[in-house]
Amino acid sequence: MLDSASVVAVDVVVDAEGALREALSSLTNLAQLLRARNVGPKSIASVLPDMLAECEPLLARLEPFFTRLRERSSCADGLQHLLATRIGELSAALQHSPRRPLGAGTRLELEAVVATVLRDLGGALPLIELLTDASAPGDVDWVEALALSRSGDQSNAPGASTVEATLVSDSQTLPTRLSPRVALNIVRLAAALVHERGYPLTLRFSRAGDLASLCIDRSEAAGESVTLLLPKVVAPSGGCLETIARWSQLALERHDGKIVLNWPIPPQGGWPGNTPNS
């Protein structure tokens, strides 16, 4: 059963996601200009006022989403603080740069600020999407959803990285009350929190009676290879995963280098009343 209190108004969510996507598009374009050595300082300086003008409206468009989310989860504070801090840093850099010639040093400083903001806004977008999606009911087999997924089907954002993981399962079917997108993106977020460069990544599903478990760790195992597009981890990622697990009625355990999710297998015949308010 999903927690109906987790539902955030659709119009509020759509505007927040749209605002972030637009900002990421503008930032990506600016980052490309700053890196292009054949683009002169006058051309770059001409686009900075427009970018600066987007900062304050962006925060205003995000505020209703965080107001609603804050009523239901403390993770709203960390996520909003991260975005407000990065957008404030970007605004300050954009205000400062036009006051002096856009020399090589100033350009590199602005490029570094834009890269940081792009990275963290890119890490925040999948969290907002997953916090939104987690309130929608579903009925999917978690192992099947992962086995059939392709990296091209997975939501992308700046800072995401592709990794190969090993899928191991001792059961043919492990149904959940999640939609396919939520099931996949919970795994991606949890795997991103566990993953460390140079170490293997294993997704181990198991079943004991009417209880199922997913253990994500850095151990070696023989199994099926799956490609995951891991979102960039930002400071609020762990808190958001805890909120999403609670809303999805998954028991979450976090250890050093390992995350475990446990959930009940539905009774034969499926979940009764598969709606957000049931």
Q: How is residue 266 annotated by DSSP?
A: P
Assess whether pLDDT exceeds 90 at residue 244.
yes
C-alpha distances (whole Å) from 178 to each of 14, 88, 97, 139, 271 are 21, 36, 47, 5, 11
Q: What pLDDT band is residue 5 in, cutting at 50, 70 and 90?
A: very low
> How many angstroms separate the CA atoms of 252 and 266, rounded?
18
Per residue in 170-188, pLDDT (tens digit) is 887 788 888 888 899 999 9
pTM for this entry: 0.84
**Which tokens in the block code for residue 195?**
């993953």
Are 240 and 133 in contact by the 8 Å Cβ rule? The answer is: no
- Mean local confidence (pLDDT), 158-162: 85
Q: What is the mean pLDDT of the chain?
A: 85
Q: Lowest mean pLDDT of 62-71, 124-133, 149-158, 240-249, name the range.
A: 149-158
Q: What pLDDT band is residue 42 in, cutting at 50, 70 and 90?
A: confident
Q: All domains of the chain, ordered by start, with CATH? A: 4-133 (1.20.1420), 140-264 (3.30.565.10)
SS3 state of residue 219: coil
273 or 65: whose pLDDT is higher?
65
> How many angstroms separate the CA atoms of 136 and 179, rounded?
7
Question: DSSP H helical segments within the chain, as ranges?
Answer: 10-35, 41-70, 75-96, 104-133, 142-148, 180-194, 237-247
Backbone φ, ψ for residue 175 (5° rounding)? -70, 150
